Structure formats: structure tokens, C-alpha cells
Amino acid sequence: MGNSQLDILDIEILKLLQKNTLLTNKEISFSLRKSIATVHDRIRRLNELGIIKRSVAILDRKKIDKNLIAFSQVLLNDHATATLTQFETEIVKFPEVMECFQMTGTFDFLLRVATSDMDAYHQFYRHKLAALPNITSIQSFFVLSETKSDTAYPL
């Protein structure tokens, strides 16, 4: 499913919704000079096609005590399907893990981990992440500052 399913109106609606999912159909229709019914039908279609996966609130992590962000690279001891699947099945259970990507290169997985502080990360690392089977090494990098953090894809 590529951009071929999207026309200019779809793209404009998606741009607006990526910036603010709380916009009403009326506000979107006014902004794009289209009828409310047209906007409603387009958004319904974009949802049905799975182009819009879900709508969420993006929280200020510091205001909810998630002050430490770590990127952790994980290397497994083998690449058998069962080993990879077991890691993926277990890692998604940890609420500290915000994102998990299987990667090419030196490490197998890259995790974005959010905790309140270094002590909380240490507890996560010691009692959850490092306790998983088949891990050869874990290398973590801690965020000092955040220059850009965007959730909107360029369209």
C-alpha cells in the first residue's frame, strides 16, 4: 500500500491530523474548503485502509516523570527464528520499552527505553532486560538533550 492510494485531499487531511488529531471534521473541512461529509468519508476510508493506524495523545514525558531516555542495542547469541521470536514476545511486555526495532548491522535490536531516572533504568536493565535468555550483549546510550522529536511523517 503506497502513496498511490492517496490523492491531494487525503494528504492534506493527513497532514492536519498528524499535527492535531483532535481537529473536528468541521474544522478540517473549513481549513481545506471541503464539505464536512467529504472530510468524514475520507477519514473513515483512511482508517479502514489502515493508513491511519490509531489516534493518540502525545504526553510531555517530563511532566509524567519519564526523565531518562536510553537507546539500548541488544545482540542475541543466535539468529534462529525461535530466538528472535522469543525476544520479541518478551520485550513487548516491558512498559519501559517504548519502541523496539530489529536492525541490520552489529546489533540485532534497538530499544528506546523511558524511565524516571538512572536507578529505575538500572532496575529495568538488571531485572528485566538482562534477565532475558539468549542475550550476548547490551549497550545503552543515554539522551542528554532532545533537539527534535516529531511524530508526523513528511507527506
Query: What pLDDT is attached to residue 137?
Result: 97
Q: What is the pLDDT of residues 9-52, one digit of tens each?
A: 999 999 999 999 999 999 999 999 999 999 999 999 999 999 99
Q: What is the pLDDT of residues 99-120, one digit of tens each?
A: 999 999 999 999 999 999 999 9
User: Where residue 1 falls among pLDDT bands split at 50, 70, 90?
Assistant: very low
pTM: 0.87
What is the grid cell recorded at 92? 513487548
Q: Smallest Cα–Cα separation from 68: which of 126, 132, 135, 140?
A: 140
Name the phi and psi angles at 73, rounded to 5: -95, 130
Residues 117 and 66 sit within 8 Å (Cβ to Cβ): no
Q: What is the pLDDT of residues 59-76, one digit of tens each?
A: 999 999 999 999 999 999
Query: What pLDDT is attached to residue 5?
Result: 84
Which domains does the chain show, CATH number per domain?
3-48 (1.10.10.10), 61-142 (3.30.70.920)
Q: Read out DSSP for 3-71? A: GGG--HHHHHHHHHHHH-TT--HHHHHHHHT--HHHHHHHHHHHHHTTSS----PPP-GGGGT--EEEE
Q: Is 4 exposed, middle or buried (0-12, 13-18, 19+ CB in 10 A)?
A: exposed
Residues 88 and 80 sit within 8 Å (Cβ to Cβ): no
Q: How far apart are CA 32 and CA 13, in angstroms?
A: 8
Q: What is the pLDDT of residues 70-99, one digit of tens each?
A: 999 999 999 999 999 999 999 999 999 999
Name the phi and psi angles at 55, rounded to 5: -115, 135
Query: What pLDDT is attached to residue 2?
Result: 52
